[in-house]
Amino acid sequence: MGFTRADQGYDLVMLILGIILIIAGALLDIGILYTIGAILAVIGLVLWVLSSTGRAFSGRRFY
């Protein structure tokens, strides 16, 4: 039983938002945007990897 990409949305949204904030923070020289962007990108990447395995993690099959 597979699941579609529509079931997993927040991982890529967090990853993309994190990358956008990293770029904005670097271009505008605002350190807090850069830091928050890096944190969101790392969390998004971890959730994306966990959800791409298809195995249940912490009681959830997808994030």
Q: Which residue has the higher pLDDT, 21 or 51?
A: 21
Instruction: Specify the pLDDT at position 1.
Output: 42
CA distances from 41 to 1, 3, 21, 37, 53 (A): 29, 23, 9, 6, 19
Judged against a pLDDT cut of 70, whether residue 61 lies above it is answered with: no
pTM (2 d.p.)? 0.69
Q: What is the tens place of the pLDDT at every residue in 15-31?
A: 888 999 999 999 999 99
Q: What is the mean pLDDT of residues 35-56?
A: 83
